[in-house]
Amino acid sequence: MSTGAIHNNIRRLRFEHEEMTQQVLAERVGVTRQTVNAIELGKYSPSLEVAFRIAVVFARPLEEVFQYRRA
Amino acid sequence: MSFREKSAWITFVLLIGFGAYFGELAREWLTPGEPHINHLRLFLALIIAIVVLEVVTHVVLALRSPQDAKAPLDERERLIALRATRPAFYVLLVGAFLSIGTMHLGASTLMLAHCVLLAIWIAELTRFGTQIYQYRRGQ
């Protein structure tokens, strides 16, 4: 089994969306600000549902928000 | 720090406070000639104090951040709660078996009850300690 890690562009996307705060994103996604922070830092991999919700907030396809990179 | 993490810290610290009960028991058991008295009064006083402090601190916490207090657990918080339950369960399991073992060493019913209570206490400390550790790590 190949190993890898999930990366994301949430920080950049927030910046591009009028510097949306983590709190605003968290409220729109339905999680806590701490969870958004953990996802953004790559410490926590969200469920598919939350990943889709984040992508919907930014109006981008999922693969533009999250990428899986092989080690 | 999130509302849930603060809540876990409060409960953890208050649980440590309950250690005073076991400290008193240990002092009594380890002091030769000390009469074995019923500690029901101390036990009830500590339980009432912990419940009152839990309620008061959580009400203050909720008043300071009402939105966070009302919000249901999100998926990461649920995962943290579940992950913390696992080690606590094993601690409780080991504690329960060790408590049963004390019966074979001639322990009284009261002693057995205290051993079970100690196991529950350590398991709860493990649960909230693990939650705090995971919240601190940001996972």
For A15-52, how does the pLDDT look when each residue is reduced to its tens digit (9 = 90+)? 999 899 999 999 999 999 999 999 999 889 999 999 99
Instruction: Provide, as residue numbers in chain A, all residues whose Cβ is less than 8 Å from the Cβ of B74.
Output: 30-32, 35
B138/A30 touch (CB, cutoff 8 Å), yes or no = no
CA distance A14 to A31: 16
Instruction: Provide, as residue numbers in chain B, all residues whose Cβ is less than 8 Å from the Cβ of A44.
Output: 76, 138-139
Name the pLDDT band for B42 (thresholds 50, 70, 90).
confident
Measured between CA atoms, how close is A22 to chain B, in angstroms? 13
- In 3D, which of B86, B19, B11, B15 has the Cα closest to residue B54? B11
Q: Does B78 touch chain A (CB under 8 A)?
A: no
CA distance A54 to A60: 9
SS3 (DSSP) at A8: strand
Q: Does B68 touch chain A (CB under 8 A)?
A: yes
Average pLDDT over residues B23-36: 77
How high is the ipTM of this complex?
0.81
CA distance B115 to A35: 38
CA distance A34 to B101: 44
Paired tokens of B115: 């051993």
B2/A37 touch (CB, cutoff 8 Å), yes or no = no
